[in-house]
Amino acid sequence: MLNIIGRRVLVAIPTLILVSLIVFGLQKILPGDPLLTIAGEERDPEVLAYLREKYRFDDPFYVQYFFWLGNVLQGDFGQSIRTGVPVSTLIAQKLPVTLQLAVMAIIMAMLIGIPAGVLSAVRKGTPTDYAANAVALSGMSIPNFWLGIILIMIVSVQWRLLPASGYVPLSVDPIQSLRTMLMPSFVLATALAAYLMRHTRSAMLGVLSSDYIRTARAKGLLPKSVILKHALRNALMPIVTLSTLLFGELLAGAVLTEQVFTIPGFGKLIVDAVFTRDYAVVQGVVLCTAVGFIFMNLVADILYILINPRLRHPR
């Protein structure tokens, strides 16, 4: 186990350097002079010259990159050009928000997707299966922002049941926090649940037709025990991979959903930063997201081993 973790961490270092280089480079080829957005409508030439020097925009690409990297290694991610807030503070502000949204969304998605997948596999070819498939397909096809706006219109404006948007930290008022996050995480979960349902269904179908399940049934085990204990446990492998990867993606921020529900998470932060050419923020958030994604991959590997004892002693 430690071996795996160690190897993963070693692989992560070049990955992170590559990611940061690519993002740094992509930002440089983005059209639009960041200083024009910073210097305001008037674009005073003196201010432009000062800022150009302050943010080292005249230095060659590699000088800028190493300067940034040097600071990051000392724990200094720089500060937002737009608001003057340190990037580390921004990440500390947004990370709990994004984490909460991601956790709630993935739990909701698993609660809906996995049982639905199992059910439609067990009842393959019945109306239940078709219904589950239809729901899953619509979950995948309905755009998040549309579903979000419709939910706000109905649940918040018409029924006044939940707040239309915003965010309250879990530590301050857990109930209100869950209430504000309910709709956005549900919107995210609908699409994710659909993926999970489809994958669970096909994995279950594969397992259910295998020999050992037939044997288990022949032994006279209860159907419930066959499905949950013998079939599902084996079918879970690809679902675990998918779930952790989906979770990793959620960590990068759910841009449209965050935008619709005005949740101050990573997605909104990075989109705003790209549009205002707030380089330091984009760099910092991407780096942080990449770390999150790599970490989730590691988690997937560890979960494999926990679920599947056969992997514990690799030959």
Partner 1 sequence: MKTYLAALLTTTILAISSASAQDFRIGLQEDPDVLDPHRARTFVGRIVFTSLCDKLVDIDPKLNFQPQLATEWAWSNENKTLTFKLRDDVVFHDGSKFDAEAAKANIDRARTLPDSLRRSELASVDSVEVVDEFTVALNLSQPDATLLAQLSDRAGMMLSPATFETDIGTNPVCSGPYKFVSRVQNDRIVLEKFADYRDADEFHFDRLVFQPIPDSTVRLANLRAGDLDMLERLNPSDAASVRDDANLQFMPIPGLGYQGITINTGANPRADNPLGKDKRVRQAFQLAIGRDIINEVVGNGLFEPAQQPFPPASPYNSPEFPVVTRDVERAKALLAEAGVERVSFELVFGNNTTAMATNELIQAMASEAGFDISLRPTEFASMQQEMQAGNYQAAQIGWSGRVDPDGNLHQFVTCEGTLNDSDYCNEEVDKLLDEARETPDVEARQELYEKAQAILQDDLPIIYVYHQPWPFVLSNKVEGFAPSPDGMVRLKGVKLAQ
By CB under 8 A, tell whether 272 contacts partner 1.
yes
Residue 41 touches partner 1, criterion: CB under 8 A: yes
CB atoms within 10 A of CB 29: 7
Pairs from 34-41 (Cβ < 8 Å, separation ≥ 24):
34/81, 34/276, 34/277, 34/278, 34/279, 37/276, 37/277, 38/81, 38/82, 38/276, 38/277
DSSP secondary-structure letter at 154? I
Helix (H, G, I), strand (E, B) or coil at 79: strand
Site membership for partner 1, residue 173 (CB under 8 A):
yes
* 3-class secondary structure, 86: strand
Q: How far apart are CA 17 and CA 314, in angstroms?
A: 31
Residue among 128, 133, 165, 308 that touches partner 1 (CB under 8 A): 165
Does 156 engage in binding with partner 1 (CB under 8 A)?
yes
Site for partner 1 in 176-235 (CB under 8 A): 176
Residues 51-70 that bind partner 1 (CB under 8 A): 51, 54
**Residue 138 lies near partner 1 (rule: CB under 8 A):** no
Tell me which stretch binds partner 1 (CB under 8 A): 20-28, 106-114, 147-155, 198-206: 147-155
Burial of 84 (0-12, 13-18, 19+ CB in 10 A): exposed
Contacts of residues 311-314 at CB distance under 8 Å and 24 or more positions apart, as own/partner, are none
User: What is the per-residue binding string for partner 1 in 69-98, x denoting contact by CB under 8 A?
Assistant: -----------x-xxxx---xx-xx-----
CB–CB of 269/285 below 8 Å? yes
Segment contacting partner 1 by CB under 8 A, of 63-71, 162-170, 246-254, 286-294: 162-170
Using CB under 8 A as the binding rule, the residues of this chain from 233 to 262 that contact partner 1 are 259-262
Paired tokens of 149? 């706006």
Find the binder of partner 1 among 50, 62, 66, 212 (CB under 8 A): 50
Binding site for partner 1 (CB under 8 A): 31-34, 36-47, 50-51, 54, 80, 82-85, 89-90, 92-93, 149, 152-153, 156-157, 160, 163-169, 171-173, 176, 259-262, 264, 268-269, 272, 275-277
